[in-house]
Amino acid sequence: EDKVVQSPLSLVVHEGDTVTLNCSYEVTNFRSLLWYKQEKKAPTFLFMLTSSGIEKKSGRLSSILDKKELSSILNITATQTGDSAIYLCAVEKYPDNYGQNFVFGPGTRLSVLP
């Protein structure tokens, strides 16, 4: 059965700290790994990592894919209170027939205190 695991499930830090969120997966026919930020309801897309793009960076956020270890990390440096959210990791699989197919992890709830 396909599985995406995230750790920690919950994290509390202070502004200015650096955090590392982890995602590991066991899926058949891996295609890409995605990170989303969920503040209120709708997850918003952060990064997509594939075999041809294993490292992405945007401002204070960066992410690396380790295909050998079947895992990924999301780093946030100099955290701000606005970074408080649930961070979801999802893995896209090559579909059996057609279309796209995603498996989500449970998310990491990050709380950044002032």
Partner 1 sequence: EAGVAQSPRYKIIEKRQSVAFWCNPISGHATLYWYQQILGQGPKLLIQFQNNGVVDDSQLPKDRFSAERLKGVDSTLKIQPAKLEDSAVYLCASSLDGGGPGPQFFGPGTRLTVL
Q: Give CA separation, 102 vs 9, 16, 24, 30, in Å.
A: 20, 33, 14, 10
How many angstroms separate the CA atoms of 102 and 114, rounded? 35
Q: Interface mask (CB under 8 A) for partner 1, residues 48-77, using x and -?
A: x-x---------------------------
How many angstroms separate the CA atoms of 37 and 46, rounded? 7
Determine, following the binding rule CB under 8 A, whether residue 95 of this chain makes contact with partner 1.
Answer: yes
- Pick from 65, 105, 110, 112 the residue near partner 1 by CB under 8 A: 105
- Pick from 21, 34, 85, 112 the residue near partner 1 by CB under 8 A: 34
Residues binding partner 1: number (CB under 8 A): 27
